């Protein structure tokens, strides 16, 4: 049994961000898939790890962390052989952190505002305001992609976290490559990573397919 254990589900964008980071760092780990529909994340055992009952959770030989951005930065600080994914230079790190906070407060929020209905009642309500929020988040992402990657010229955990969320935005509509050419090129670039298809795109397609199948009301 590896000393690093990640708890989660493939459809979760934050879980996929952690999976991508673990693969980028070439770390051995055990992946424990939770049965969310069966309430496994609300079991007493799991709530001891994470009282919020959310995914992902990382258990690194007794060190427990349960926010994806905190998990990814922790893994880099502890295990990375270089600081390429999470720079130690304070200015560069601030740039990466800004994108991580952008993912949490803008990108993921716009997705969650749509998905929350599914997790609460099993149905997804798509309203114009929620669709507009996703477009606003994508437009801001397009502005931030001034270079090849979201935080500069090289791959960082900001790309892995933001991309896991952006690829989940198709829960409402397909991302138009003409409307968002920089995002399209960026995702294609990340798609060349040997682990990106298996540890992100497969789960993202499952997530968006599930959400679209549960639409109960469309106000576009």
Distance CA 154, CA 111 (A): 26
Same domain, 104 and 71: no
pLDDT given at position 2: 62
Domain span at residue 59?
A: 4-79
Residue 84 lies in a domain: no
Query: pLDDT tens digits for 20-75?
Result: 999 999 999 999 999 998 999 999 999 999 999 999 999 999 999 999 999 999 99
Contact 206, 168 (CB under 8 A): no
Q: Which two tokens stand for residue 194?
A: 């040997």
pTM of the model: 0.96
- Note whether 164 and 195 are within 8 A (CB): no
* The predicted structure's pLDDT at residue 80: 98
Q: Which residues of the chain register pLDDT less than 50?
A: 1, 220
Per the annotation, the verdict on 2 as an active-site residue is no
Distance CA 76, CA 78 (A): 5
Say if residue 115 is in the same domain as residue 213. Answer: yes
45 and 17 in a single domain? The answer is yes
Largest CA distance in the chain: 49
* 85 domain residue, yes or no: no
Q: Which one of 31, 52, 79 terminates a domain?
A: 79
Pairing of strands 63-65, 57-60: antiparallel
- Considering the candidates 12, 68, 110, 170, report the single residue annotated as catalytic: 12
Q: Which of 144, 168, 143, 171 is nearest to 156 (CA)?
A: 144
Q: Is 158 exposed, middle or buried (0-12, 13-18, 19+ CB in 10 A)?
A: buried
| pLDDT of amino acid 220 | 47
Please identify which residue in the block is written with the tokens 């138009």.
Answer: 176
């Amino acid at each position: 049994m590896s000393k690093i254990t990640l708890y989660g589900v493939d459809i979760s964008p934050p879980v996929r961000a952690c999976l991508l980071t673990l693969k980028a760092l070439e770390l051995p780990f055990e992946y424990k898939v939770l049965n969310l529909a069966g309430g496994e994340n609300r079991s007493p055992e799991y709530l001891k790890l994470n009282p919020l009952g959310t995914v992902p959770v990382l258990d690194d030989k007794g060190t427990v962390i349960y926010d994806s951005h905190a998990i990814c930065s922790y893994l880099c600080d502890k295990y990375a052989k270089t600081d390429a994914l999470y720079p130690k230079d304070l200015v560069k790190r601030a740039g990466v952190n800004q994108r991580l906070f952008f993912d949490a407060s803008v990108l993921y929020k716009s997705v969650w505002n749509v998905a929350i209905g599914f997790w609460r009642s099993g149905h997804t309500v798509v309203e114009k305001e929620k669709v507009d929020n996703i477009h606003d988040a994508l437009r801001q992402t397009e502005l931030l992609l001034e270079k090849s990657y979201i935080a500069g010229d090289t791959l960082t955990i900001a790309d892995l976290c933001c991309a896991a969320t952006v690829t989940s935005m198709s829960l409402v509509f397909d991302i138009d490559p003409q409307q968002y050419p920089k995002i399209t090129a960026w995702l294609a670039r990340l798609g060349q990573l040997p682990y990106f298809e298996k540890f992100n795109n497969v789960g993202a397609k499952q997530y968006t397919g599930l959400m679209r199948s549960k639409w109960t009301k469309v106000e576009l």
